[in-house]
A and B are shown apart, each in its own frame.
Chain A
Amino acid sequence: MLTNYLKLAWKVLLRHPFYTFITLFGISLTLTVLMVLTSFLDHLLGPHYPETNRDRSLYIQMMTQTDTAGTTQMKGPMSFRFLTDYVKSLQTPERVSISSVMNSSNAYVGSQKIKLNTKFTDADFWRVMAFDFLEGKPYNEQNIAAGDQVAVISDDFKKEYFGSASEPVVGKTIEIENVHYKVMGVVRGSPVTRFFTHAKVYFPYTAPKSNYQNTGFRGNYIAIVLAKDQSDFKAIQDEFYDRVSRIPVPQYEGGTKYDVLKVMNETYADNFLGTIMEGPGLRAVFLSIVGFIVFMLLGLPAINLVNVNVSRILERASEIGVRKAFGAPVRTLLWQFIIENLFITFIGGGIALVLTVVIIQLINHSGWIAYADLTINLTVFLVSVGVCFVFGILSGVLPALRMSKLKIVDALKG
């Protein structure tokens, strides 16, 4: 029976190539946009190299100091000392890493200028993050305690600075802003969209110009807390918030008095959304705008599809009349149309899959985002197939319902 339906569907597709083209164009376009979007979101938020532990990590990135009147507000990352005192010593997490936010700098080789991002980290950074070391090894607690001027560099920077991708460079020195550092290791770089791990050069936090000595609460460091398991998140947050609430206020920072101290400790996705929009009101606005855009993006092709289908099914009235006259029940006809529509949606889905692969490869190789690693993973694909299915039902059921209500006489007349 099913093969019969499929055969029928195939013949119907071939009968009017133009309408088939319209339908396929709509379906594959919408799905492609949707899949590229989801894979980009997955690239931004999912656990990928080198932050493969992201799903069991909490990020402490923003401290807000407000006075009672609420007129003055200071916010930003924290000092190394604050994070050492209040985060590093937490009992519940498996491990805590403290690293600086991205700094930018320049290096010069001959007449060549290299723009670079640098990061100061502790030794645990290399244990919390899963970097691939192409050569050498990370710096450890001894290097940090001794204040060694060493660095771990990315493979991109190695190529730019030393001019060769294959030659080993561990033990050689690099010069940045008049300071010489010994290269300890070379890692495969992290994309710039992962700003907690992206850098071209990583220094131990005791290297010059790291400002880890600052005594205030705010500074330029953030902490990433690795939990043993996601279920520990609550316990870690409770322990941390309890500690912060015990810090006596009011205090002074940079000559300004503040009474309320708030430090966020949250998952990567929450943290990411939090930096885009502050405050609950803005969040609702942002989400409704995004919702509206997605609705339009899906709604418009869906309406279009339904429209075309409705018009086309009437075109086939006589065929339906004949089938009904020979005793086909409404249910059978309904199934035929639903399957027909699902069939075309899945062909559209297949085309969309191919298009998505092409676009993703283009993005990955265009150098638009260095180290971009967009992939179609299982979740993205399943989501798209699900959407495919909904589309098929949406544009299949409505016209089919109308159709099956036709009287035999009317259908035959048409």
Chain B
Amino acid sequence: MLRHLFKLTWNKKKTHALLIVEIWASFLVLFGLASLIIFNARNYLEPLGFAYERVWAINLQNNQDTTDVAEKIQQVVRHLGTYAEVESVTRMGSNFPFAASQMSNGVKYNGTHSMMNFYTVDENFARTLDITPLAGRWYQSADSVGKHRPAVINQKAREKLFGEENPLGKILNNDGENTWKVVGVIGNYKDKAEFMENKPAMFELLYADDRWNSTLLIKTKPGTDALFEARLVKDVTAQLKGWSVEVDHLTESRTNQHNLTLIPVLIFLIICSFLLVNVALGLFGILNLNIAKRKDEIGLRRAMGATERAVKQQFLGEIWVLATLSMLLGLLFTVQFPLLHVFDVASGVYLLAMVASVVIIYLLVTLCAWYPSRQAARIQPAVALHEE
């Protein structure tokens, strides 16, 4: 039966060439769309790893004031802690959660090298963002007395660098003379919002005499409003003459990060769905016409004793064979993505996308062929043969 169907298709390869190209192209478009959606959906399902609600980021910039910068920043940190509306204050670099800026560094352990998202944050960071270490603890300022700078890594970084080994107390280094001692491990840290891939991250202790990292995160009490924010900006600018002070709410920055991912996906989705509807309509039309042309053939089969079911199956089978041929051609292209590691995406995403596209294409062609095939099956042999 299957061989027969292949033969039928092969005999009319010229007529079917364009149809194959059309299904092939739809498959590729669908594959692209499915990869994009599956990649983002998979990331979305991974938890963020920290709490951002009620947290504000205060960016300080010293401008032309270059005296005692570190001391002045520490003063502000202490001052912010005195407000009744503020639950917790932490100081870090400009790569605060959901910010556009990011920093990455290569880190080595026993010859294993890994690129990490790198954060310089102080001891109150975990408390401000509600991060609970999975193993060990978050570092304290007191840890800075040792030879190695204290550091905390996330689960992903632990897998990359240590595998099964216990990371606590181990020493990390980079190509320069910097060394770090791991004191704790946390879970996820997806600081570019939910759609970000869960990547290795490492946190090192921010020293009090640091004059470059000047972003402060504060966790406010519930119900704190813009009136407090205005007062806060006024107080800080009064304390720091000539400095710039800017306040960001993490909830707003998160929305921005989401839009950066969602808007392109949405546009792509809309365009692709229209393309597919277009293809489906066309396919339906072509199949309808084809069956009208093959009336005599159907009449003959029916007269020779073929059941309605058999005729219907023949037409559905033909389009499935056609779709299979086109998709085999398409798979030749799409398997290159996981094989060549294009775009640094996990192979699982591509495989899942291929499966999804294959299923959707089969559904689509079946849907388009269903009505015409039924029409074909209903043809009365007497009528068809009479016309002939």
**Chain A positions near chain B (C-beta within 8 angstroms):** 18-19, 21-22, 25-26, 29, 33, 103-106, 108, 110-113, 177-179, 208-209, 211, 213, 296-297, 299-301, 303-308, 310-312, 314-315
Contacts and interface: CB of A to CB of B under 8 A. Distances in A.
Contacts of B246: 104-106, 177
B96 to A, nearest CB: 14
B229 A304 contact: no
B285 A25 contact: no
Nearest to B259: A368
9 contacts: A18-B285, A25-B277, A106-B246, A177-B233, A209-B61, A209-B242, A307-B22, A307-B282, A314-B293
B282 A308 contact: yes
A208 B282 contact: no
B293 A308 contact: no
A111 B290 CA distance: 70
A363 B188 CA distance: 37
B230 interface: yes
A108 B244 contact: no
A304 B281 CA distance: 9
Contacts of B278: 22, 25-26, 29, 300-301, 304
Nearest to B23: A303
Contact of B230 (A105, A108, A297): A108
A33 B277 CA distance: 15
Nearest to A27: B278
B178 interface: no
A312 B244 CA distance: 70
B12 to A, nearest CB: 13
Contacts of A104: 246
A303 B226 contact: no
B245 A296 contact: no
B19 interface: yes
A112 B226 contact: yes
A296 B244 contact: no
A277 to B, nearest CB: 14
Contacts of B274: 29, 33
B1 interface: no
A304 B226 contact: no
Contact of A22 (B18, B28, B285): B285
A177 B61 CA distance: 12
B18 A310 contact: yes
Contact of A178 (B21, B229, B234, B289): B234
Contacts, number: 104
A105 B292 contact: no
A16 to B, nearest CB: 9
Given A296-B25, A299-B25, A311-B289, A22 B282 contact: yes
B275 A108 contact: no
Nearest to A18: B285
Nearest to A296: B29
Given A22-B282, A105-B244, A300-B25, 11 more contacts: A22-B278, A29-B274, A108-B233, A111-B225, A177-B246, A296-B28, A301-B278, A303-B22, A305-B282, A310-B18, A315-B293
Contacts of A19: 285
Contacts of B277: 25
Contacts of B26: 300
B64 interface: yes
Contacts of B225: 111
Nearest to A175: B234
A311 B226 contact: no
Interface residues of B, number: 40
B229 A177 contact: no
B25 A303 contact: yes
Contacts of B18: 303, 306-307, 310
Contact of A108 (B25, B229, B279, B282): B229
Nearest to B229: A113
B320 to A, nearest CB: 18
B286 interface: yes
Contacts of A315: 289, 292-293
A347 B255 CA distance: 41
Contact of B281 (A25, A103, A209, A306): A25
B226 A297 contact: no
Contacts of B275: 29, 296-297, 300-301
Interface string B16-38: 00110110011011000000000
A110 B225 CA distance: 11
Closest 8 CB pairs of A and B: A108-B230, A178-B237, A304-B282, A113-B226, A311-B289, A22-B281, A303-B22, A311-B286
Interface in B82-110: none
B339 interface: no
Contacts of A108: 226, 229-230, 233
Nearest to B64: A213
Nearest to A301: B278
A352 to B, nearest CB: 12
Interface in B39-82: 61, 63-64
A226 B226 CA distance: 43
B332 interface: no
Nearest to B284: A22
Given A108-B233, A111-B226, A304 B63 contact: no
Contacts of A21: 281
B269 interface: no
B237 A177 contact: yes
A178 B238 contact: yes
Nearest to B175: A71
Considering residues B19, B244, B246, B279, which has the most beta carbons from chain A within 10 angstroms of its beta carbon? B244
Contacts of A33: 271, 274
B115 interface: no
Contacts of B247: 106
B145 interface: no
B227 interface: yes
Contacts of A105: 244, 246
Nearest to B268: A293
A25 B26 CA distance: 17
Given A111-B226, A178-B233, A299-B25, A308 B242 contact: no
